[in-house]
Structure 1
Amino acid sequence: MTLPRPHRFDLLMAFLGFACGLLLWSFGLYTTGDRVFDQRWATLIPLAVMASMVALRRTMPLTALNVGTLAIVGDQFTNGNLVTVLMFTDVVYAAVVYGQPASARRIPYTTGLITVAVTVGFLVWWQNAVALLIGVITGMVSFMPAMTGAVVRNHREAAEAARLRAEQTALLAEMDRAQAVVAERARMARELHDMVANRLSAIAIHSTAALSLDEPATTRQALTVIRENSVAGLSEMRRLIGILRDSSGDAEPAASPTLAGLDALVNQSAVNAEPSGLVLVLDDTRKDPAGLPAPVELAAYRIVQESLTNALKHAAPGEVRVTLGQDPGALWVRVTSPYGERPGPTAPGSGAGLVGMRERVALLDGVFEAGAVTDGEGRKRWRVRAELPVGANDEERT
């Protein structure tokens, strides 16, 4: 197993510590005298060992502390070197700051108990005030560095936790922003499609009819419808642009359409659908048309509008029926149109209309169905059906 390389700063501290200790030793400056090993060279052994442990203070903090403790104990049997003691305090500090969490929690308690035990032991042995001085020195060498390391480690961990929380908050904010952008783009796409598709489909169909039929009356009627739809579509586009711009200076945007405007919508669509052989019928079976939440009315209006646009593009000649009804807690919308091949001009479709209707209903927690069905007379029809809740949840969404 390859041992971790010591940090360059730790190597520099170890070299400077050993050099300073060697300088004190050369001048004969010791911490005490008359010890078991009073030879001058004996003081250098704990000094060299402690300097080596300083080099390992960051990469192997617990090993450095254990070996450093043996070195400081051995230093007490020599004449002693002040630098050895100072380097030991750094080893204790580093063991708490860089060691494992369990060791970092245990070392301050252990050094505290050692300080108390040394003080009590010398008090019992010497029975004078010098024992208290020994206890203070022991605490300064072991307990105080450990407590300083614990404070520094706690501050670092708190700062790291705060940094992680800030990063998580920023990430969540970015995710919320991205989701808001996606939702707003989807809403804008639905509004743009619903507001303009009906007009452009009528323009495409009537322009095709005007180009394919060489009848002045038919051409004039088609051009009239084209002009009306282009002007109305341009007006709706301007209103939408005014909503999207930050400060357009235009008049306030028009209010959202409601079910009260279905008569006008069906009448306009009937004019556009007349050349295609379509007859539009509105059947409102609601007993109390008032009191619906604004999101529900807007969704129902847009569903009818898009369904009529699809009928204008694809439906075979026949009756297109729009039916509104209301049950306790729900408004339902049903649009049926003839299903099959149609003669004459058609307009291309992209499928975005069905996607938009489904999204509108899903936002209100409703039910949406669209597909071919067979009526009671065995005829194939295309049916769009939406059920929109009108309970307390919808009122809260307004």
Structure 2
Amino acid sequence: MDRVRLTARQEDLAIAAAGLLGGLLLLAFGAYDARPGLPVWAVALPLAAMAVLEFGRRRYPVWTVCLGGVLFGVAVYLGSLMATLLMYTDLLYAATLYGPARMSKVLQLTGAASTLVLSGLTWRYGSVPGALLVAVFCGLVFLTPVWTADLLRRHRDRAEAERLRAEQTALLAELDRRGAVVAERARMARELHDVIANHLSAIAIHATGAQAVARRQHRDRDEPLVEALAVIRENSVQGLAEMRRMIGLLRDSGAEEPYAAPRLAAVDVLLDQAGAAGRAAGLRFEAVEHGEPGGLPAPLELAAYRIVQESLTNAVKHAAPGLVRLDIRYGEDELEITVASPYRPGEGRSVPGARAGLVGMGERAHLLGGEFTAGPGEADGGDVWTVRAVLPRTAEGGGRA
């Protein structure tokens, strides 16, 4: 069950109403001590005025406690009413808690002085036991609310200081973390530029040189060797361009050509590249789309593109001759990708990083809350290797470039 939370204004109103209603109830039952011959309304007036002051206990603590002291003296002179006394102690408490920092010392001095004066007068014109009772009563009225509020204010200020210190520590830790991330991104960018990008550049240069040699030898463009060289050069140049955009993204250098995440609309380009690379191996590629794409979240579209790209790359490397079919189904709640390629048990060769692509595709799907499966099966009377990913359209994060 949820607790009802009141605003500061509502709390002040509740305190004033409770004090006023409680005082009127005491007056109705005659639970008060008034001077002889005074009517009841003479005791009720200070009660009502004290209840009005309760409205400003937070906004005007100094003025309310000063006027409350005057009303308290009038109330004591006219008649003793417990509700008026309790509301005055609440004004002392509020003035110490919400007023200026020096208010505590002022009220403690005035309360101690009032206690000494009243107890001294009682001792001078009365008795010692009476003076002791007056001292205890005045201490409870004038000093106890001030000490209680002062203790609470110190704890509150200490808690606020600790909170600010914790926020400052968290801010410094966040700045350190961001600095470490920036440094690591810069290191990764250097490694990609110095190692991977240089290797791709060397591949592109050697492929270009090999094409020049083939042209001098007057080789036909349809010759498998010449086609392979063209595919190697095209893929290396494209990979080098994407690598450089990725390096720019890691360095956040504000380059004129920022890194743009690939989209599913570019699947035709992937099919053309895969068809050119797998033509010599007897592979054919086709794609079928079902449904309307609509608006897809960027992380979902990036993950789907990478899964299609990796699946087609694996088909080029491992599939048996035949048709590789890509099915993309746009549902209302999910996006389904299926890539089926010819497969014969025992075929394929082991290459460095084998199965890393399957692990990466599975991670992309699971980070978006989707499903991923890959393995051999049967379709249309033949063995196929099927990659299937189901991604929810509501996915908003987790895609990695």
For normalisation by structure 1, the TM-score amounts to 0.49
